[in-house]
């Protein structure tokens, strides 16, 4: 059962979201980095609070 509409790879193209907009790519990268840092900092605070209560 072959239901794929693609029968050949000739002429295949790719579309990259925001590939021509470095400003948006930088913004998304900074948001991602900020979320990672926030997660690590909040996790460390939580761990410190839990061990202070013991």
**What does the pLDDT read at residue 44?**
96
- Residues 6 or more apart in contact with residue 6 via CB below 8 angstroms: 12
At which residue do the structure tokens 């979320």 appear?
A: 35
**What does the pLDDT read at residue 23?**
93
Q: Which of 22, 7, 38 is nearest to 46 (CA)?
A: 38
- Residues 6 or more apart in contact with residue 12 via CB below 8 angstroms: 6
pLDDT tens-digit readout, 4-47: 676 776 776 776 777 788 999 999 999 999 999 999 999 999 99
- On the question of pLDDT at 51 being above 60, the answer is yes
Whether 18 contacts 24, CB under 8 Å: yes
């Amino acid at each position: 059962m072959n239901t794929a509409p693609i029968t050949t790879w000739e002429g295949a193209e790719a579309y990259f979201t925001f590939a021509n907009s470095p400003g948006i790519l930088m913004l998304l990268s900074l948001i991602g980095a900020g979320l990672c840092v926030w997660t690590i900092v909040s996790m460390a605070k939580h761990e410190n609070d839990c061990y202070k209560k013991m």
